Protein backbone atom coordinates (compact mmCIF):
# COMPACT_ATOMS: atom_id res chain seq x y z
CA UNK A 1 0.00 0.00 0.00
CA UNK A 2 1.40 3.42 -0.94
CA UNK A 3 0.44 6.79 0.55
CA UNK A 4 -2.24 7.46 -2.07
CA UNK A 5 -3.94 4.15 -1.31
CA UNK A 6 -3.57 4.80 2.42
CA UNK A 7 -5.26 8.18 1.99
CA UNK A 8 -8.39 6.47 0.68
CA UNK A 9 -8.37 3.70 3.28
CA UNK A 10 -7.64 5.85 6.35
CA UNK A 11 -10.64 6.64 8.54
CA UNK A 12 -10.93 7.95 12.08
CA UNK A 13 -10.69 5.14 14.65
CA UNK A 14 -11.37 5.91 18.31
CA UNK A 15 -11.37 2.39 19.74
CA UNK A 16 -8.28 0.18 19.79
CA UNK A 17 -7.39 -3.40 20.68
CA UNK A 18 -4.77 -4.26 23.28
CA UNK A 19 -2.44 -5.70 20.62
CA UNK A 20 0.98 -4.13 21.25
CA UNK A 21 3.05 -2.40 18.61
CA UNK A 22 6.06 -4.51 17.64
CA UNK A 23 9.58 -3.18 18.06
CA UNK A 24 9.83 -2.95 14.27
CA UNK A 25 6.67 -0.84 14.00
CA UNK A 26 7.87 1.44 16.79
CA UNK A 27 11.21 1.86 15.04
CA UNK A 28 9.59 2.75 11.72
CA UNK A 29 7.18 5.25 13.25
CA UNK A 30 9.95 6.91 15.24
CA UNK A 31 12.06 7.18 12.10
CA UNK A 32 9.20 8.89 10.27
CA UNK A 33 8.64 11.26 13.19
CA UNK A 34 12.33 12.13 13.30
CA UNK A 35 12.39 12.89 9.57
CA UNK A 36 9.50 15.32 9.96
CA UNK A 37 10.91 16.84 13.16
CA UNK A 38 14.20 17.65 11.44
CA UNK A 39 12.63 18.86 8.19
CA UNK A 40 10.04 21.14 9.81
CA UNK A 41 11.78 22.02 13.11
CA UNK A 42 9.27 20.22 15.35
CA UNK A 43 9.30 18.19 18.57
CA UNK A 44 6.75 15.46 17.93
CA UNK A 45 7.11 12.39 20.12
CA UNK A 46 5.70 8.85 20.16
CA UNK A 47 4.38 7.60 23.51
CA UNK A 48 3.97 3.84 23.96
CA UNK A 49 1.86 2.05 26.58
CA UNK A 50 0.61 5.35 27.95
CA UNK A 51 -3.12 5.99 28.45
CA UNK A 52 -2.81 9.69 29.32
CA UNK A 53 -3.34 10.98 25.79
CA UNK A 54 -7.07 11.70 25.79
CA UNK A 55 -9.26 13.35 28.40
CA UNK A 56 -11.13 11.31 31.00
CA UNK A 57 -14.46 12.33 29.50
CA UNK A 58 -13.47 11.00 26.07
CA UNK A 59 -12.37 7.71 27.63
CA UNK A 60 -15.81 7.31 29.18
CA UNK A 61 -17.82 8.35 26.14
CA UNK A 62 -16.01 7.56 22.89
CA UNK A 63 -12.36 6.53 23.17
CA UNK A 64 -11.25 3.05 24.16
CA UNK A 65 -7.79 1.53 24.37
CA UNK A 66 -5.84 4.65 23.37
CA UNK A 67 -2.52 3.52 24.85
CA UNK A 68 -0.18 4.80 22.14
CA UNK A 69 -0.12 8.31 20.75
CA UNK A 70 2.04 10.89 19.03
CA UNK A 71 2.34 14.31 20.66
CA UNK A 72 2.11 17.15 18.12
CA UNK A 73 4.56 19.64 19.57
CA UNK A 74 7.04 22.37 18.79
CA UNK A 75 8.42 25.72 19.88
CA UNK A 76 6.03 28.63 19.39
CA UNK A 77 6.96 30.02 15.99
CA UNK A 78 5.49 31.12 12.69
CA UNK A 79 3.14 28.59 11.08
CA UNK A 80 3.74 26.02 13.83
CA UNK A 81 0.18 24.68 13.67
CA UNK A 82 0.35 24.37 9.88
CA UNK A 83 3.69 22.53 10.01
CA UNK A 84 2.30 20.14 12.62
CA UNK A 85 -0.81 19.56 10.51
CA UNK A 86 1.28 18.85 7.41
CA UNK A 87 3.70 16.54 9.23
CA UNK A 88 0.91 14.85 11.16
CA UNK A 89 -0.84 14.02 7.89
CA UNK A 90 2.33 12.38 6.60
CA UNK A 91 2.72 10.26 9.73
CA UNK A 92 -0.94 9.21 9.79
CA UNK A 93 -0.87 8.00 6.20
CA UNK A 94 2.49 6.31 6.70
CA UNK A 95 1.02 4.50 9.73
CA UNK A 96 -1.85 3.33 7.54
CA UNK A 97 0.62 1.77 5.10
CA UNK A 98 1.99 -0.22 8.06
CA UNK A 99 -1.45 -1.64 8.85
CA UNK A 100 -2.16 0.71 11.75
CA UNK A 101 -5.10 2.99 12.49
CA UNK A 102 -5.08 6.57 13.73
CA UNK A 103 -7.21 9.35 15.17
CA UNK A 104 -6.33 13.05 15.03
CA UNK A 105 -7.30 14.53 18.41
CA UNK A 106 -7.24 18.32 18.31
CA UNK A 107 -9.62 19.44 21.01
CA UNK A 108 -10.08 16.69 23.58
CA UNK A 109 -6.53 15.60 24.27
CA UNK A 110 -5.07 15.71 27.77
CA UNK A 111 -3.09 18.96 28.13
CA UNK A 112 -0.80 17.35 30.71
CA UNK A 113 1.06 15.55 27.88
CA UNK A 114 3.13 18.73 27.50
CA UNK A 115 5.34 17.41 30.29
CA UNK A 116 6.58 14.64 27.97
CA UNK A 117 7.94 17.20 25.48
CA UNK A 118 9.55 19.65 27.91
CA UNK A 119 6.41 21.79 27.99
CA UNK A 120 6.65 22.71 24.32
CA UNK A 121 3.54 24.06 22.62
CA UNK A 122 1.18 21.13 21.93
CA UNK A 123 -1.67 21.42 19.43
CA UNK A 124 -3.02 17.88 19.78
CA UNK A 125 -2.16 14.22 19.57
CA UNK A 126 -2.51 11.38 17.09
CA UNK A 127 -3.80 8.16 18.64
CA UNK A 128 -2.18 5.18 16.93
CA UNK A 129 -2.54 1.41 17.13
CA UNK A 130 -4.59 -1.54 15.93
CA UNK A 131 -8.20 -0.45 15.67
CA UNK A 132 -11.14 -2.56 16.77
CA UNK A 133 -12.52 -1.62 13.32
CA UNK A 134 -11.13 0.11 10.24
CA UNK A 135 -13.50 3.04 10.71
CA UNK A 136 -15.98 4.37 8.18
CA UNK A 137 -15.84 7.21 5.63
CA UNK A 138 -16.96 10.53 7.05
CA UNK A 139 -19.76 12.56 5.54
CA UNK A 140 -18.18 14.71 2.87
CA UNK A 141 -18.88 17.84 0.90
CA UNK A 142 -18.59 17.81 -2.88
CA UNK A 143 -15.66 19.11 -4.93
CA UNK A 144 -17.87 21.97 -6.13
CA UNK A 145 -18.61 23.06 -2.56
CA UNK A 146 -14.99 23.48 -1.54
CA UNK A 147 -13.22 24.62 -4.71
CA UNK A 148 -13.35 26.98 -7.65
CA UNK A 149 -11.07 27.28 -10.63
CA UNK A 150 -10.62 30.48 -12.63
CA UNK A 151 -10.59 29.17 -16.17
CA UNK A 152 -12.76 27.56 -18.82
CA UNK A 153 -11.28 24.10 -18.29
CA UNK A 154 -10.58 22.67 -14.85
CA UNK A 155 -7.33 20.64 -14.87
CA UNK A 156 -7.54 17.02 -13.81
CA UNK A 157 -4.81 17.57 -11.22
CA UNK A 158 -6.92 20.27 -9.52
CA UNK A 159 -9.93 17.96 -9.26
CA UNK A 160 -7.77 15.10 -8.00
CA UNK A 161 -6.18 17.37 -5.42
CA UNK A 162 -9.52 18.66 -4.19
CA UNK A 163 -10.94 15.14 -3.90
CA UNK A 164 -7.89 14.21 -1.84
CA UNK A 165 -8.23 17.30 0.35
CA UNK A 166 -11.76 16.17 1.22
CA UNK A 167 -10.22 13.03 2.74
CA UNK A 168 -8.23 15.06 5.28
CA UNK A 169 -9.37 15.01 8.93
CA UNK A 170 -10.55 18.59 9.51
CA UNK A 171 -11.86 19.98 12.81
CA UNK A 172 -15.28 18.55 13.64
CA UNK A 173 -15.33 17.31 10.03
CA UNK A 174 -16.65 20.72 8.95
CA UNK A 175 -14.48 20.83 5.81
CA UNK A 176 -14.71 24.61 6.12
CA UNK A 177 -12.19 25.49 3.42
CA UNK A 178 -12.04 26.76 -0.16
CA UNK A 179 -9.40 25.84 -2.73
CA UNK A 180 -9.00 28.45 -5.44
CA UNK A 181 -7.11 27.64 -8.63
CA UNK A 182 -5.78 30.09 -11.19
CA UNK A 183 -3.50 28.62 -13.85
CA UNK A 184 -0.97 26.53 -11.92
CA UNK A 185 -1.43 28.59 -8.73
CA UNK A 186 -3.58 27.35 -5.84
CA UNK A 187 -4.69 29.23 -2.76
CA UNK A 188 -6.41 27.95 0.38
CA UNK A 189 -9.00 29.96 2.27
CA UNK A 190 -9.76 28.38 5.63
CA UNK A 191 -11.47 29.64 8.78
CA UNK A 192 -11.72 27.18 11.66
CA UNK A 193 -10.76 29.34 14.63
CA UNK A 194 -7.98 27.81 16.71
CA UNK A 195 -7.82 24.82 14.34
CA UNK A 196 -7.20 26.88 11.18
CA UNK A 197 -3.45 26.32 11.06
CA UNK A 198 -3.65 22.56 11.64
CA UNK A 199 -6.41 22.23 9.06
CA UNK A 200 -4.43 24.15 6.44
CA UNK A 201 -1.47 21.81 6.95
CA UNK A 202 -3.63 18.71 6.72
CA UNK A 203 -5.39 19.98 3.60
CA UNK A 204 -2.14 21.01 1.91
CA UNK A 205 -0.57 17.59 2.41
CA UNK A 206 -3.60 15.74 1.04
CA UNK A 207 -4.00 18.14 -1.90
CA UNK A 208 -0.34 17.77 -2.86
CA UNK A 209 -0.56 13.99 -2.68
CA UNK A 210 -3.59 13.90 -4.96
CA UNK A 211 -2.63 16.68 -7.39
CA UNK A 212 1.09 15.99 -7.63
CA UNK A 213 3.43 18.75 -6.40
CA UNK A 214 4.97 19.00 -9.86
CA UNK A 215 1.69 20.30 -11.32
CA UNK A 216 1.12 23.48 -9.29
CA UNK A 217 2.43 26.06 -6.83
CA UNK A 218 0.88 27.35 -3.60
CA UNK A 219 -0.02 31.01 -3.72
pLDDT of residue 191: 84
In angstroms, the CA 185 to CA 48 distance is 41
| Dihedrals phi, psi of 174, to nearest 5 degrees | -75, -25
In angstroms, the CA 155 to CA 211 distance is 10
Convert the pLDDT of each residue in 7-39 to its tens digit: 999 999 999 999 999 999 999 999 999 999 999
Instruction: Give 116-121's long-range contacts (Cβ < 8 A, gap of 24+).
Output: 116/45, 116/47, 116/71, 117/43, 117/45, 117/71, 117/73, 118/43, 120/43, 120/73, 120/74, 120/75, 121/73, 121/74, 121/75, 121/76, 121/80
Do 106 and 124 form a contact (C-beta atoms < 8 A)?
Answer: yes
Sequence-distant (6+) residues with CB within 8 A of 115 are none
Domains of the chain (ranges, CATH numbers): 3-129 (3.40.109.10), 143-214 (3.40.109.30)
What is this structure's pTM? 0.96
Number of residues that make up the chain: 219
Other C-beta atoms closer than 10 Å to the C-beta of 69 total 28
pLDDT of residue 203: 98
Q: What is the pLDDT along the chain (219 residues), one digit of tens a residue?
A: 999 999 999 999 999 999 999 999 999 999 999 999 999 999 999 999 999 999 887 887 889 999 999 999 999 999 999 999 999 999 999 999 999 999 999 988 999 999 999 999 999 999 999 999 999 988 899 999 999 999 889 999 999 999 999 999 998 788 999 999 999 999 999 987 889 999 999 999 999 999 999 999 999
pLDDT of residue 24: 98
169: Cα within 13 Å, side-chain hemisphere: 24
Do 95 and 102 form a contact (C-beta atoms < 8 A)?
Answer: yes
Amino acid sequence: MDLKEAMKKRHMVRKYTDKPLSDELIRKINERIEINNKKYNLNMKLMINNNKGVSSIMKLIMAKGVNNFIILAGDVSENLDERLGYSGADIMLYAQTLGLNTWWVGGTFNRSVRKYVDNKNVTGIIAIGFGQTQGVPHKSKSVEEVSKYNGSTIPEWFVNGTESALLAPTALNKQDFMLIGNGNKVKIECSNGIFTGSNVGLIKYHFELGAGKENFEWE
